[in-house]
Amino acid sequence: MTRFQHDILIIGSGAAGLTAALHLAPFARVGVLSKGPLTAANTYYAQGGVAAVLDEGDSVAAHIEDTLIAGAGLCHEDAVRMTVENGPDAIRWLIQQGVGFTTEEQDNGQMEYHLTREGGHSHRRVIHAADATGFAISSTLIEQVRKQPSVALFESRVAVDVITTQKLGLPGNRALGAYVLNNETGHVEVHEARFVLLATGGASKAYLYTSNPDVATGDGIAMAWRAGCRVGNMEFNQFHPTCLYHPQAGNFLITEAMRGEGGHLKLPDGTRFMQRFDERLELAPRDIVARAIDHEIKRLGIDCVYLDISHKPADFIKAHFPTIYERCLEFGIDITKEAIPVVPAAHFTCGGVLTDLNGCTDVEGLYAIGETAFTGLHGANRLASNSLLECMVFAIAASKDIRARFNDPLQPVTIPDWDESQVTDSDEDVVISHNWDELRRFMWDYVGIVRTDKRLQRASHRVLLLQGEIREYYSNYKISNDLIELRNLVQVAELIINCALARKESRGLHYTLDYPDLLPDAKDTMLVPKHYVARVVPPVSG
């Protein structure tokens, strides 16, 4: 059994995980796990940018107000205020690390950072690196973290479970590290740590159509739930309105910034339709735009709608959206001359593991940051480009909290080896691929953009059957990357379904035909695991 000892174990290599690693490196031995290469994270693929108050005409109050409005009454104002107020410092930190955000020449000849505007924002406040902001941030942070002698990087690793005192039959519930599958050797390692940070992203791969890479399988949320953490607001799955619709395109996103720069949504006959749904037209919040597109696709029986920015100058389009221009050209679509076929796709998990403003969860020594966490920032619908900002702000906050607790005395615990003595190699891997496909299809059909209780009950029945199959498979065969991801996705799917069934209203991203109206009191949906141990943790709103 291979063992590693860290002061802090970070599971995930996106913006949240790498930001935390860089802030913790000066005083601790840090281990960072990545499923594949360090670029295997949602951050790497993010296009739009980071929202922050950077312009004199903008204000913290306006950014807070826009976030609260988008969140449909469920945002926690303390989390919103903390994120927005710390936004400019987070951007300055990224610039100090070397992120090359896009600049433009002003009338006075000075070069300033270009700010774009996205749906739900009242001002231009989204700083970006052309249309590949995530690539710029990810590449820069990876370059910086590789320079840190106190940071050990472990690629091709997938965490199996968080190790806790409770799981070992000891008093309390404290994180001790994690069991980790080395995908290169096929063996499970023990990674011991005083503190564990879950920065594994969201769970949009639970859906058939998604903008997310294959790694977004809800691992951190599922592991935290099994460790005894409360999970909340999982019914609020954000569907990005505009993903490229093409059989070879995979999960290629068309950034919201394209609508911010004047792109029009159109039907196949070239007519615009957003004016029938919201006075803000294409710049309405994502839940409204996604439902509008879904409505038109179903009403007309069409495969997709179209996003058209061809009325803008060709040089403007190529300069602002070079990645999209080149990618679409590969499929024979010249966006300077023709519209882009688009459909909605699962994009962001607004709920997650309940944390306080320092990223602390219900399990001592276990933190959750970024999309894995439910901080209260996003409420019932995430405001565009607040997600990368949340990654940086809460990673920094968690790092400060860990530093303050770093020398707290801890009782030593002996962690047992991973036991593979009772399992065999599987000759039925087809079960995994079949269950994976079934899960993603019924989640898309029954727990998608528009829901009903009947659809949710059907999904609940199917997910319970899948859980039984996976439990039997997990108990008898050696684990693999695909099995771990499927196990986590099925767990997260159950959490999404149960949260959706509990909400008897339509609010934000959760829209149900059975309860189309808004209830007068806004309340979070909170799920509590059977093995939850009460601690001094964040209050549950509502």
* CATH code assigned at 477: 1.20.58.100
pLDDT of 532 strictly over 80: no
Q: Does residue 381 sit in the same domain as residue 508? A: no
Which 3-state string (H, E, C) describes 342-355?
EEEEEEEECCEEEC
Same domain, 32 and 176: yes
Question: What global pTM score does this model have?
Answer: 0.90
| Interval 48-64: pLDDT, tens | 899 999 998 999 999 99
Query: pLDDT tens, 204-232?
Result: 999 988 888 889 999 999 999 999 999 99
CB 103 within 8 A of CB 110: no
Residue 420 vs residue 172, higher pLDDT: 172
CA nearest to 252, candidates 175, 339, 143, 326: 326
Domain of 142 in residue numbering reads as 3-49+90-102+131-235+350-405
Residue 137: pLDDT band (50, 70, 90) is: very high
Is the per-residue pLDDT at 233 higher than 60? yes
Residue 452 domain flag: yes
178 shares its domain with 44? yes
pLDDT value of position 312: 96
- Alpha-carbon distance of 37 to 142, in angstroms, equals 10
Per-residue DSSP letter, 284: S
Pairing of strands 3-11, 30-33: parallel
Whether residue 40 sits in one domain with residue 8: yes
Is residue 255 assigned to a domain? yes
Residues 211 and 155 in one domain: yes
139 and 192 within one domain: yes
Contact 511, 451 (CB under 8 A): yes
Going by pLDDT thresholds of 50, 70 and 90, the confidence category of residue 260 is confident
Using DSSP's 3-state secondary structure scheme, residue 11 falls into strand
Say whether 124 is catalytic. Answer: no
Instruction: Please answer whether residues 498 and 460 qualify as being in contact, where contact means their C-beta atoms are separated by less than 8 angstroms.
Output: yes
Of 472 and 12, the one with more pLDDT: 12
Q: What is the pLDDT of residues 295-313, one digit of tens each?
A: 899 899 898 999 999 999 9
Number of compact structural domains in the chain: 3
Answer with the one of 326, 346, 366 that is the final residue of a domain: 346
pLDDT category of residue 541 using cuts at 50, 70 and 90: very low
Co-location of 7 and 146 in the same domain: yes
Do 269 and 381 belong together in one domain?
no
Q: CA-based angle 3:4:6, to the nearest 5?
A: 150
- Residue 460's SS3 state is helix
CA dihedral 244, 245, 249, 251 (to 10 degrees): 60
- Would you state the pLDDT for residue 251? 75
- Given 194, 286, 327, 440, the catalytic residue: 286
Domain co-membership, 137 together with 39: yes
Tell whether 42 and 176 lie within a shared domain. yes
Closest among 103, 108, 121, 142 to 59, alpha carbons compared: 121
340 and 459, same domain (yes or no): no
Average pLDDT over residues 16-34: 98
pLDDT exceeds 50 at position 542: no
**For residues 166-184, average pLDDT:** 95
Residue 81 belongs to a domain: no
Q: What is the CATH number of the domain that holds 307?
A: 3.90.700.10
Q: Is 374 domain-assigned?
A: yes
- 126 in a structural domain: no
Asked if the model's pLDDT at residue 188 lies above 70, the reply is yes
Q: Band of the pLDDT at 285, cuts 50, 70, 90?
A: confident
Identify the pLDDT of residue 197: 98
Q: Do residues 214 and 149 both lie within one domain? A: yes
Q: How far is CA 326 from CA 131, 266, 330, 336, 339, in A?
A: 11, 22, 6, 11, 14
Q: 3-state class of 207 per DSSP?
A: coil
Give the whole-angstrom CA distance, residue 515 versus residue 335: 40
Helix (H) or strand (E) holding 144: helix 133-145
Tell me the CATH number at 221: 3.50.50.60
